Amino acid sequence: MCRPDRPAPKHPHRASTRHAGRTDRQAAESSPHPCRKADGLNPQTFQDEAPPHIPAPGQRIVIIEDDEALGRSAAAHIGRWYGTVHRLPRPDDDTLREHLEQSVDAVAVVSRDDIVALRYALLAEHLKPGIRLVVTLFDRTVADEVSRTVPNCTVLSMTDAIVPSLLAECLAPSYAMLRPDGGGVIAVRREDGTTSVEHLHGRALAAHAPVHPRASFRAWLRSLGTSAKALIASLAALSVAFSVDIALGVLVLHEHWTDSVWNAARALTTIGSSPAAEHGPGWYKVLSAVSMLAVLVLAAIFTASVVDRFTGHRMTSILGARSIPRRGHVIVVGLGQVGLRLSARLKDLGIKVVAVERNPQAACLPLARSLNIPVVLGRGGDRFLLERLSVLRARGLAAVGSDSLANMAVAVAARAVAPDQRIILRAGSDEVTTDSQSLFRIGAVCDFPRIVGAFVAASVLGAEPSSVFVAEDRTCALFPDGQVVDLATWDTRPTDPRPGADEGEASRTASDVDASANTN
Summarised one tens digit per residue, pLDDT across range 154-199 is 999 888 899 999 999 999 888 999 998 877 899 898 877 788 888 8
DSSP state of 324: P
d(CA 68, CA 89): 8
Q: What is the torsional sign of CA 451, 453, 454, 455?
A: positive
Average predicted confidence (pLDDT) for the chain = 79
pLDDT at res. 200 = 86
Tens digit of pLDDT for each residue in 120-154?
999 999 999 999 999 998 888 888 888 888 889 99
Sheet containing 194-201: order of strands? 175-181, 184-191, 194-201
> How far are the Cα atoms of 101, 119, 120, 223, 331 from residue 384, in angstroms, in the given order?
58, 44, 45, 11, 14
Q: What is the mean pLDDT of residues 315-325?
A: 79
Sheet containing 484-486: order of strands? 467-471, 474-478, 484-486
Q: Do β-strands 184-191 and 194-201 pair in parallel, antiparallel, or remain unpaired?
A: antiparallel
DSSP string, 107-137: EEEE-S-HHHHHHHHHHHHHHSTT-EEEEE-
Tens digit of pLDDT for each residue in 260-286?
888 888 888 877 777 777 777 888 888
The CATH architecture annotation of domain 217-221+316-449 reads 3-Layer(aba) Sandwich (3.40)
DSSP string, 260-307: HHHHHHHHHTTS---GGGGGS-HHHHHHHHHHHHHHHHHHHHHHHHHH
3: left (phi over 0), alpha (psi -120 to 50) or beta: beta
Residue 244 in this model has a pLDDT that exceeds 80: yes
Residue 38 in this model has a pLDDT that exceeds 50: no
pLDDT at res. 24 = 41
Tens digit of pLDDT for each residue in 449-459?
999 999 999 99
Report whether 53 contacts 479 (CB < 8 A): yes
pLDDT at res. 505 = 43
- pLDDT band at residue 432 using 50, 70 and 90 as cut-offs: low
326: left (phi over 0), alpha (psi -120 to 50) or beta: alpha
DSSP, collapsed to helix, strand or coil, labels residue 161 as: helix
Report whether 183 contacts 459 (CB < 8 A): no
d(CA 257, CA 280): 17
pLDDT at res. 212 = 60
DSSP state of 399: E
pLDDT at res. 435 = 58
Would you say the pTM of this structure is higher than 0.85?
no
CATH topology of domain 55-156: Rossmann fold (3.40.50)
Tens digit of pLDDT for each residue in 58-99?
899 999 998 888 899 999 999 998 889 999 999 999 999 999
- Measured between its terminal Cα atoms, the distance across the chain in Å is 47
